[in-house]
Amino acid sequence: MSELTERLQQQLIAGASRPLMQDENQHWYTGSELNLEENVWKNYWQNKGIGHNDIVLVGLTNSVTYSLAIQSLWEVGAIVQPINPETTETQLNELEAQYNYSAIILNSNIKDLDVLNKIFTIQPRLSTLQEPEVQIYLRNKHIHHPVEVPNDDELALIMHTSGTTGRPKRVGLTHHQLLKSAFNVIDSEELTAQDSTFILMPMFHINALVISNLATRLSHGQLLFRPKFSAHLFWKEVSSQMVTWVSLTPAIVSILLQRDEQPANNNLRFLRTASAPLLPSIHQEFNRRFDIPLIESYGMTEAAGQITQNPLERPLSKSVGKSFGIKIKILDSNQNKLAIGQTGEIALQGENIISHYLDSQPEAFDNGWLLTGDLGSLDDNGYLHITGRSKEMIIRGGENVNPLAVENCLIDLKFIREIAVIGTPDLIYGETVTAVIVPKKLSHDHRHQLALLNKLANEQLLPVERPTKYIFSTQLPKNATGKIQRTLLAHEVNQQQLKEA
């Protein structure tokens, strides 16, 4: 048995009489009830011949069932691949045709899918909890694989990267990598059995799955599952449920700032933000409004979650903090190590860092170091400062423009709800700086807004950084964690410009 699965079992046994998990209806389950449910799942897989190295696709909303189902699959030696429960039938068809899954678990409200009915047999819905049952599909003529207790170095999880800079890559994470990453979170956040957290971000992303779910379970804390973030319920439930910490995204922080609510009976030790850059102006506004530490961090799927986090007692503004259990170095374009304070590509090495992708990507590694594609620098005290993604940098006339710096300047204008700065093709300069803006109020006349944008840009930005084009929109393309998909946005803008040409 891997140390990960053994410790997850121990958590349920040790908390037999204690409420450990809460469902969306605020019903608590004790460790004894959860252990019984997890064994139901494990016996189910054994009876159906799902075992060693079987890959099971999981497309569920956040739930107690989700956490227990993946634990049961790991215990029989299977590999879990989480996907967005909103995945379309066409997307499911493409995944299945490429990877031939042994089983698929979906929400019970999913209607019959032609692609699945041809290849899989629908099984009776399964769950003994008060949560909605889930629908299971087993592959026809599946060769039964024996249950084989996994070791630490076997694959436990397959996830796709967000794909904001290109085609998503498959990341394979072992039991040990997941365990090591979870313990890094426990150490950095000083988690104990007295802590409790909401899981609001989607479980098919590494943040919720490892940083919230696994780290809390391995520290014997309490988990409160919610299908999604609710702006009007957040502070009420934080107060009523005595939650001690929550992992959020900058998009959620921005939404909270747009509302008037304040937490009552606040038991929060801190809020944690990750999955996308947090603009300094947003951070400053949050600190002004709320007496709650907002801790910046940095992570990625390839690191099984967390890479750095600001120390709780010594957070540093405009930094994503220090590494916990991971080696970091900054490289120039020739993969030479740069000195303290110099900006270059961030490279990683550690027990929770992958050494290869499941689909070969040798250019992403250098002598055992993962090349992240992110740009940043380390200061004298080991704090990491991120300046952007190397593939998102705008190159205008041979000069690099950091889109985050432009966004952070312009977001101060009160009429802006959201902003994304991208590079679009320019015949003379290669790329031009384009700002796509979602205003708080829709208008057909943007002359006043454009005047304010140009005035601020001229006052605070270098000439090369100043946008030469402003586009007003009703929304920005994002992934499930609220991260703006700049590559997709740039493609959409370019296609629209071609139509208008």
pLDDT on residue 501:
62
Torsion of CA 208, 203, 156, 48, to 10 degrees: 150
Output the domain CATH number for residue 52: 3.40.50.980
Q: Is residue 204 part of a domain?
A: no
Mean pLDDT of the chain: 91
pLDDT on residue 287: 93
- Do residue 58 and residue 132 come from a single domain? yes
Residue 26 has pLDDT above 50, yes or no: yes
Closest CA to 198 of 323, 347, 21: 21
Residues 385-413 have pLDDT tens digits of: 998 777 778 888 767 788 988 998 999 89
Residue pair 223/217 in contact (Cβ under 8 Å)? The answer is yes
What are 498's strand-pairing partners?
none
Domain contains 221: no
Q: Tens digit of pLDDT for each residue in 292-311?
A: 999 999 999 999 999 999 99
Higher pLDDT, 76 or 149: 76
Within a domain: residue 153?
A: yes
Cα angle for residues 182, 479, 101 (degrees, 5° grid): 70
Query: For residues 3 and 179, is the Cβ–Cβ distance under 8 A?
Result: yes
Question: Which residue(s) pair with 120 in the sheet?
Answer: 139
pLDDT of residue 498: 76
Instruction: Report the number of distinct structural domains present in the chain.
Output: 3
Amino acid letter for position 459: E
Q: Which helix (H) or strand (E) holds 298?
A: strand 294-300
* Tens digit of each residue's pLDDT (9 = 90 or more) over 190-212: 999 999 999 999 999 999 999 99
pLDDT in tens, 324-352: 999 999 999 889 999 999 999 999 999 99
Q: Are 223 and 213 in contact (CB under 8 A)?
A: yes
Backbone angles phi, psi at 43, to 5 degrees: -65, -35
Phi and psi based region of residue 453 (left: phi greater than 0; alpha: psi -120 to 50; beta: remaining): alpha
Could you tell me if 8 and 217 are in contact, meaning their C-beta atoms sit under 8 angstroms apart?
A: yes
pLDDT of residue 165: 38
Q: How confident is the model at residue 462 (pLDDT cuts 50, 70, 90)?
A: confident
pLDDT for 163 equals 42
As a dihedral over the C-alpha atoms of residue 440, residue 422, residue 461, residue 277, rounded to 10 degrees, the angle is: 70
Enter the tokens of residue 224. Answer: 């409160």
Same domain, 357 and 419: no
Distance CA 319, CA 357 (A): 28
Predicted TM-score of the model (pTM): 0.85
Same domain for 33 and 95, yes or no, is: yes
Per-residue pLDDT at 166: 44
Of 357, 389, 421, which marks where a domain is finished? 389
Q: Is the pLDDT of residue 186 over 70?
A: yes
Q: Same domain, yes or no, for 125 and 237?
A: no
Pairing outcome for strands 28-30 and 322-323: unpaired
In a domain, 182, yes or no: no
pLDDT of residue 109: 78
